[in-house]
Amino acid sequence: MKLTPWKTFAAGALLILLANAVALTGVYLNRSGEPDSRLTLSQRELTLPWGWGMAKENSGMALRLNWRIIDAGASAGEYFDGGFGFSGGTPEWLDTARMAALGFDTAALAEGNEGRRRFERQLPREIVLVLELAGPAWQQALERAQQNAARHEAARLANADSKEFAAKAKRAQELLKREETQNSRLFAIDAGLDRTALRAKYPDRSRFLILKATLRPRLVVRDKTTRATGYVTALAVTQINVPHALRPLLETAQGTRRRTADDAGPHFEATLAVGRRLEPWLESVPAAR
């Protein structure tokens, strides 16, 4: 049957309507009832879009959820600067037993190099990730930054005539300042397949976010020892759309950017809620300061 231009237009319009209906139904189901969690985050965890201020004609605005891990590749006591744009990595708490519990086949690891290759070739899986705000993991990152700064300062004092040691000490102090005032305090601390069990384990809904994420198998070699673990590649939702009514409250903060460790840039807070489908949305934004 030959489609007329009118029928083609009608079919396209119907597809758009159906897609919008499905999307709106998903939003309704996600936001119905009491949120699974509700956290107050700051500009440290919600990154303003860098290019938005140069594209005023763009009516949309989104914030990036910025989270971190204590990386398994770092030596004990070593400070790894995740910065304020870092997301993903290999958590140090993710061991072989945990990977098996998450559905990955770890039996082949006993078969030598070929078994290890088969382990790494497994397809990524969707998991449920627990993120904690300003908890022990962030305190650990802060302590490592303090130790890193003290170590480089001691080296500078022991090599008073060296510009190289002076530069490293200055950089370590900048990283410490950034950890104290700018870097995200939201850390991945656990993972599972059963969200109900995880929520029972982490009941504080104002401190623990539970979100869907993607995990792929990975082998980490450290001190000549191979360890089977995984790499969290991404959250299912990383961009948080800003409702039009809340956007003016963030536009004020948009004008100033972080440039150095001493220039923290715009400060704001926002309430992030996560619904029944583990999809986050922005609930409120107090005036930026």
Strand partners, 225: 222
Range ranked top by mean pLDDT from 23-37, 200-214, 235-249: 200-214
* Residue 25 pLDDT exceeds 50: yes
Delimit the domains of the chain by residue range. Answer: 38-134+184-284
Band of residue 127 on the pLDDT scale cut at 50, 70, 90? very high
Maximum pairwise Cα distance, the chain: 86
Question: Region 256-273: what's the mean pLDDT?
Answer: 67
* Residue 107 CA to its chain's centroid (Å): 30
> CA 214 to CA 242: how far, in whole Å?
24
Strand partners, 281: 273
Task: Give Cβ neighbours of residue 273 (< 8 Å, ≥ 6 apart).
Answer: 31, 35, 37, 38, 280, 281, 282, 283
R_g over Cα of the chain: 23
* Residue 236 pLDDT exceeds 80: yes
Say what the pTM is. 0.82
> CA 39 to CA 51: how far, in whole Å?
26
Task: Using DSSP, state whether 58 is helix, strand or coil.
Answer: coil
Q: Mind listing the pLDDT tens digit for each residue in 57-113? A: 556 788 999 999 988 666 555 676 665 556 778 998 999 999 999 999 988 887 788
* Residue 17 pLDDT exceeds 80: no
Band of residue 26 on the pLDDT scale cut at 50, 70, 90? very low
- Predicted pLDDT at 114: 85
